[in-house]
Homo-oligomer: A and B are copies of this chain.
Amino acid sequence: MSDYNAIREECLAANLALPKTGLVDLTFGNVSVADPERRVFAIKPSGVDYTELTAADMVILDFDGNTVEGDLRPSSDTPTHRCLFLNFPGIRSVVHTHSRSAVAFAQAGVDLPCFGTTHCDYFHGPVPVTRGMTPEEVGGDYEWETGQVIVERFKAAEIDPLNVPAVLVRNHGPFAWGPSGAKAVETAQALEIVADMAIKTLAVNPSAPQAPEHLLNKHFFRKHGPGAYYGQPKTSQS
Which residues of A are in contact with B by a Cβ distance under 8 Å?
25-26, 28, 45-48, 71-73, 76, 98, 100-101, 103-110, 115-118, 132-133, 135, 138-139, 142, 171-173, 186, 189-190, 193, 196-205, 208-209, 211-212, 214-215, 218, 222, 229-233, 236
Q: How far is the CA of A197 from the CA of B98 in the complex (A)?
A: 10
CB distance from A47 to the nearest CB of B (A): 3
- Using known A-B contacts A138-B214, A173-B117, A203-B202, determine if residue A197 contacts B232 with beta carbons closer than 8 Å: no
Decide: A197 and B103 in contact? CB cutoff 8 A: yes
Residue contact B47 to A230, C-beta cutoff 8 Å = yes
What are 30 A-B contacts defined by CB distance under 8 Å?
Answer: A26-B189, A26-B193, A28-B118, A46-B230, A47-B231, A72-B236, A73-B233, A73-B236, A103-B118, A104-B200, A104-B204, A105-B204, A107-B115, A107-B198, A108-B201, A109-B208, A110-B204, A110-B205, A115-B171, A116-B171, A116-B172, A117-B171, A117-B173, A138-B214, A138-B215, A171-B212, A171-B215, A198-B204, A199-B204, A202-B203
The answer to whether A108 touches B208 (Cβ under 8 A) is yes
Which 8 A-B pairs give the minimum distances between C-beta atoms?
A: A47-B231, A104-B200, A108-B205, A108-B204, A107-B115, A107-B201, A135-B214, A171-B211
Are B110 and A236 in contact, CB atoms less than 8 angstroms apart? no
Cβ of A236: which chain B residues have Cβ within 8 Å of it? 71-73
Give chain B nearest CB distance to A24 CB in angstroms: 11
Most buried by B among A72, A110, A171, A218: A171
Which residues of chain B come closer than 8 Å to A232, judged between CB atoms?
45-48, 72-73
Which residues of B sit under 8 angstroms from A204, Cβ to Cβ? 104-105, 108, 110, 198-199, 202
- In the complex, A115→B194 CA distance in Å? 21
Among residues of B, the one whose C-beta sits closest to the C-beta of A46 is B231
Additional pairs, 9, CB under 8 Å, beyond known A110-B204, A135-B214, A138-B214: A26-B193, A45-B232, A46-B231, A71-B236, A100-B193, A103-B116, A107-B115, A171-B211, A198-B204
